[in-house]
A and B are shown apart, each in its own frame.
Chain A
């Protein structure tokens, strides 16, 4: 009640005694699971006093498909399509994360061209992920036009991915030790063109929102999390950086030559919804820079490692000589044999640290695949973020922490 009085001074005309006879009680309301503003199937039960959220609890699991159990019963190569479905907005980043963990576990070196291409495609996916997050978040707070500006450009990138990987959303682009296929002629020009389009989209949207009073008052000071709480809750990625901690795996533990690219890690100041959106905007710009640099230095050569343990033999070997045929057959039927051991490897995905902890028992199937999704730890802080605010603030906050149910619930 106090907060409503602050927000709506008109109410203060009433004497406090006016409310005394009024019997008030907390009202319980389900936000979600099935509602456009809940971005997938997330259910939050809130206890309301007027429109203020006094207490909240979450229920997740609507999209649980048993990724980890399924992975234990597949060969390493067969797991890759399942990783697409983790964060389906930036599928290739999950492919890369899993392939990188398996390669590290075996100790296979991938080729320089493969590294370059993985960086390029990952950064493109990061841009798309942020475009989707920002676009959807702005729709939630009523700014619909931005959505079209951002999603039209995203569709242009999907045309490129369509040609490159054969699919729009679930690309399954990596293989253990390489990639599914090399680029097509004209790929670089098309990517450079779409990068320009992204820059236009970002500028257009920033023009609409950066000094827009409604946008600022809907996002600034909403859903604040302190640095200490963010660390305690295991935040990573843009949500952690929005609190002012410049932590990025691409800088801390560089992989795939990220140390050779010039880019900066944007940080926020207070860790509210506004900071999270603005950090994402800046990350789009930085990713565009990385893709441009990576395209310039993209080396030639093969995309697949010639290590017989992980790569399929070329087709002329498979069809002509017996060793090639056996190699192919064993690879497909029994899977890649990985010596017993365990490995944790993490990549900086669009939402934060995407980790895979793989335990191998020496057979062709992983003994245990643990996926450490960035969303899971972030979403566990959601009740703390929204309590004390209004329902509308809860919706704005949910959009800004970018929960993707596919990786939240695996």
Chain B
């Protein structure tokens, strides 16, 4: 087994559901409840040292030929610039309890990436300060990258986003309001 995966497995035991050595990078599946702890460990452990969250996305396995236990997987691509290794962490999420802890406290870039996953898949990120749509219009209904969202569906969208809700939050953060 890959040394990174071995270390991860020894640290978290049963919470790591599955490990595989992909052709591109080692892959680990972990339980939803410990996802944030695993990410924190991956970032802070000196041997792991994943300082860059390259990408955060999700996959909807609704029509996938091989049945998965959960419908969605949130996928984190991590990268260590100093050590030069990468790792893919996948967190299965079911439709009944569609949420993961936010990773904003670890990487600031998680803010927009998580907003995009919420926008496209409807997966909630617990603790996210501003979980609103990012690529789609505020009036948009549904989550377009879900496999049951028909590609030819059209929606009429008219309202402008004043952005004042976000602005108010930010002004309060800065003590200007």
Contacts and interface: CB of A to CB of B under 8 A. Distances in A.
A345 interface: yes
B52 interface: yes
A265 interface: no
Contacts of A346: 54
Interface stretch (B1-9, B31-39, B91-99, B131-139): B131-139
Contact of B81 (A70, A233, A245): A245
Interface string B146-175: 000101000000000101101100110010
Contacts of A107: 23
A73 B59 CA distance: 15
A252 B84 contact: yes
Contact of A69 (B88, B113, B151, B171): B151
Contacts, number: 126
Nearest to B152: A73
Sorting the interface of chain A by its residue count into under 10, 10 to 19, 20 to 34 or 35 or more gives 35 or more
A372 interface: yes
A372 B144 contact: no
B170 A362 contact: no
A64 interface: yes
B109 A28 contact: no
A59 B161 contact: yes
A359 B57 CA distance: 12
A69 B120 CA distance: 10
A234 B109 contact: yes
Contacts of A247: 81
A367 interface: yes
Given A61-B135, A73-B151, A380-B112, A231 B77 contact: no
Contacts of A269: none
Contacts of A372: 54-55, 57, 77
Q: Shortest 5 CB-CB distances between A and B: which pairs?
A: A234-B109, A380-B112, A372-B55, A57-B166, A64-B135
22 contacts: A26-B171, A26-B176, A59-B163, A61-B135, A73-B151, A231-B52, A232-B109, A234-B54, A234-B107, A247-B81, A252-B81, A341-B23, A343-B22, A344-B55, A346-B54, A353-B54, A361-B65, A362-B65, A370-B57, A370-B59, A376-B113, A377-B112
